[in-house]
Amino acid sequence: MKSFLPNALLGSVLLSSSVMSSSFSAAPSASFGRSNRYVASTSRAPSFVGSSSSAASARRIAAVLRGGDIENDVTADDVPPSPEVPSTSSIGNGGEQQAVVATNTPSTTSTTTTTSSSSKLGPNAPPPGLLRSLFPSFPWHSLPNYLTYARCLSIPLFLLLSYYPTAYVNRAPALGVIFALASITDWFDGFLARRWDITSPFGAFLDPVADKLMVSTALIVLSGRYGGIVAIPSSVIMAREVGVSALREWMAQRGKRDSVKVGMQGKVKAALTMISISLLLLVPEGVGLESVGWANKYLGVLGVGGVGHDVVEGVTNAGCGWLLGPSLLMLFASAVVTVTSGSVYFKAAAPVLLGKE
């Protein structure tokens, strides 16, 4: 009993001094700091905080009575567990975020594909229409060039059908359709290039070349069939094309290409020439100038009668013989416009040609 009282008195004194020193200390102990932080962060569970704080205080008193250090005697139970914060990886593994990414990925990929296909068109191109929406992977930016390639490939086919097979009843309709389709592609590829705001150096070079090759080939074939009445306007047309092409090339070397660019008369000439050739090709062989009164009366000496190598006695070739007169008139009109439009180009280039600029 005597030894117990001094020990109890000594424990009370040590406990009081420890509490007072901790109360007046500038920095609270780590255990009290952690306890306070936990209380502030877990205000929604006061009962749990109270029980935890009482147990911790009892352990500190026992440590003092044993003569130990409070700071070193704090156990893992005194440190409250930190609230769990779900990480991005855990959420992703749970499936929610990963599902969102998987859901968005196809639409993003589709948008990227459509954008990359449309980005090859010019900045002023309209939004995709029905065909471009149905076939987004098709190289629409190359379609004008494909039409030009098709026009070039139609030239050897046109030549082949002009003479072979030797007895081909539908020669006139076939040649007329081939040339008419090639003429339409000449307009259509330019329309698409302007609408989609696209251009390529090779396409800009090949397009006028394909037009001249196609027209000159058809005029040569028709000149052989009808003689001078077609050969004379054909020579005028072809001579003008060679002269204007040389003039444009020469002016381009001097940076004056815009002064001889294609004008309205040139477009009218091209339209008249292609329409007249298409109609003339629809006339079957065997129909000559004798079927056209004014042509036979005034220009009959220039024709050869339209007799071809595949005229067979008793066989009527398919075609429209009545188109011979109108098509010849249009061909002569085209030759006149050819001369007037060519003179406009040479007049515009005269100052440079004569050295005045």
| Predicted local confidence at residue 76, as pLDDT | 46
pLDDT at 107: 47
- What is the pLDDT, as a whole number, of residue 112? 44
Q: Which of 189, 332, 185, 340 is nearest to 273 (CA)?
A: 332
Percent of the chain with pLDDT over 90: 25
Per-residue pLDDT tens over the stretch 43-77: 444 444 445 555 566 666 555 555 555 444 445 44
* CA-wise closest residue to 231 among 337, 335, 324, 319: 335
- Partner residues linked to 278 by β-bridges: none
- Map residue 227 onto helix, strand or coil: strand
| Positions in the chain short of pLDDT 70 | 1-119, 291, 293-316
pLDDT value of residue 53: 54
Residue 117 corresponds to which amino acid?
A: S
Q: Which tokens belong to 188? A: 């259509």
Question: Quick one: pLDDT at residue 352?
Answer: 86
pLDDT of residue 124: 85
How much is the pLDDT for 304?
58
Question: What does the pLDDT read at residue 293?
Answer: 66
Look up the pTM and report it. Answer: 0.63
Asked if 247 and 222 count as a contact pair (C-beta separation under 8 A), the reply is no
Please tell me the predicted confidence (pLDDT) of residue 176.
Answer: 95
Do residues 179 and 218 touch, judged by C-beta distance below 8 A? yes
Reduced to 3 states, what is the DSSP secondary structure of residue 344?
Answer: helix
- Whole-number pLDDT of residue 89: 43
Q: What is the pLDDT of residues 266-319, one digit of tens each?
A: 888 999 999 999 999 999 887 777 767 666 666 666 665 544 445 555 556 777
